[in-house]
Structure 1
Amino acid sequence: MSVHFHPLPAAEVAAIRATRIDSYGNPVERAICDGPGFPCRSCLTETAAGEPFLTLAHRPFEGQNPFTETGPIYLCESCEGTPPSATLPAILSAPTHIVRGYSADERIVYGTGQVSPTADISTYAAALLARDDIAFVDVRSASNNCFLCRIKPA
């Protein structure tokens, strides 16, 4: 099975940029990148030095239940985003990441979460997505647990 890495949906990013409000109803923070980049969840690359970016609390789920995690994310202030792709996104540059399967009702499927070597993410995600009980797979930082991107069947 082929998989695609998905950024946050463009409409969701546009709404965040327009309202400047996060998932908790708080104002997003704006800063200028002053060194190593911050992983943008829209273009799936790192922010460039000297460029503005946003920091906010985000919940990458449509509904709410005990499994709808919220965490900090970064967005370039004005990138164009990127389409879903089979190519491993640039923001997945750490040696390992948390990879976890979710059901269609946005609940963690127990036993699917693991810290995966980055090179193995696509293979593990494909194995999870081949299961009938897995609707999508999320990739999170192994060191900070922040949401990075979503994986779906190609």
Structure 2
Amino acid sequence: MSLRYIPMSDEDARRMRDGGPDAYGNGPERQISDGAGVPCRHCLDYVEAGAPYLIFAFRPFSTVQPYAETGPVFMHADACPKHDGESLPPILGSRENYLLRGYGKDERIVYGTGDVVAREELEIRARELLARPDVAAVHVRSTRYNCYQCRIVGV
């Protein structure tokens, strides 16, 4: 099974760069990166030191329901190319471990799928989860702050 890494959509990125409302109805906050771990959810790479970035509340789900977690994310303030979806994103290769969690077609957590996995096991565990008939997607989150990184689907 091949994996596809799903970044924030171009539409969502454009809306936030234009000052549109985030998941809580607020405009994004603008900061300058110190170069220490500011992962962009659109290009799935890090915001370089000295570059501006946005912070806003993001809900990576199509509906509002009890499992539709919302949290803070970062994104380049200036336009960046959306991640190609095919290669392992840089933001998933720099930490020691990540939290993976499986979601069903209804975008609800599939219990028993949440695991903290070592960086080198991330793709193996994602494939194992996506091989299950009850798992439609895997969300990757940071283990330190529980921040959403991206979605992975099987193709």
> 1:147 is matched with which residue?
148
> 1:91 is matched with which residue?
91
Supply the distance in 2 between the matched residues of 1:13 and 1:104 (Cα, whole angstroms): 24
State whether residues 37 and 49 of structure 1, in contact with CA within 8 Å, keep that contact through their aligned partners in structure 2.
Answer: no
State whether residues 67 and 108 of structure 2, in contact with CA within 8 Å, keep that contact through their aligned partners in structure 1.
Answer: yes
The code of the aligned residue for 1:55 comes to I
Supply the distance in 2 between the matched residues of 1:118 and 1:109 (Cα, whole angstroms): 22
State whether residues 58 and 72 of structure 2, in contact with CA within 8 Å, keep that contact through their aligned partners in structure 1.
Answer: yes
Supply the distance in 1 between the matched residues of 2:88 and 2:128 (Cα, whole angstroms): 16
Tell me by how many angstroms 1:21 deviates.
1.9
> 2:34 is matched with which residue?
34
TM-score in terms of structure 1 length: 0.94
The code of the aligned residue for 2:145 comes to N
What is the correspondence of 1:93-112 to structure 2 with a 5 Å cutoff?
A: 93-112=94-113
Tell me by how many angstroms 1:37 deviates.
4.3
Larger mean CA deviation between 2-11 and 50-59 belongs to 2-11
How many residue pairs get aligned? The number is: 153
The code of the aligned residue for 1:109 comes to V
Q: Secondary structure at the match of 1:74?
A: strand
- Gaps in structure 2 of 5+ consecutive residues: none
User: Per-residue displacement from partner, 1:97-145 (whole Å, max 9, x unpaired)?
Assistant: 0000000110000000000111111111111111111110000001100
Supply the distance in 2 between the matched residues of 1:51 and 1:20 (Cα, whole angstroms): 20
RMSD: 1.2
Q: Secondary structure at the match of 1:75?
A: strand
What is the correspondence of 1:17-56 to structure 2 with a 5 Å cutoff?
A: 17-56=17-56
Runs of 4+ in 1 over 3 A off after TM superposition: none
Supply the distance in 2 between the matched residues of 1:61 and 1:15 (Cα, whole angstroms): 16
TM-score in terms of structure 2 length: 0.94
Q: Secondary structure at the match of 1:91?
A: helix
Supply the distance in 1 between the matched residues of 2:52 and 2:37 (Cα, whole angstroms): 11
State whether residues 13 and 42 of structure 2, in contact with CA within 8 Å, keep that contact through their aligned partners in structure 1.
Answer: yes
Percent sequence identity is 44
State whether residues 37 and 48 of structure 1, in contact with CA within 8 Å, keep that contact through their aligned partners in structure 2.
Answer: no
State whether residues 35 and 47 of structure 2, in contact with CA within 8 Å, keep that contact through their aligned partners in structure 1.
Answer: no
Supply the distance in 1 between the matched residues of 2:113 and 2:90 (Cα, whole angstroms): 24
Q: Secondary structure at the match of 1:72?
A: strand
Supply the distance in 2 between the matched residues of 1:42 and 1:110 (Cα, whole angstroms): 28
> 1:59 is matched with which residue?
59
- Gaps in structure 1 of 5+ consecutive residues: none
State whether residues 98 and 142 of structure 2, in contact with CA within 8 Å, keep that contact through their aligned partners in structure 1.
Answer: yes
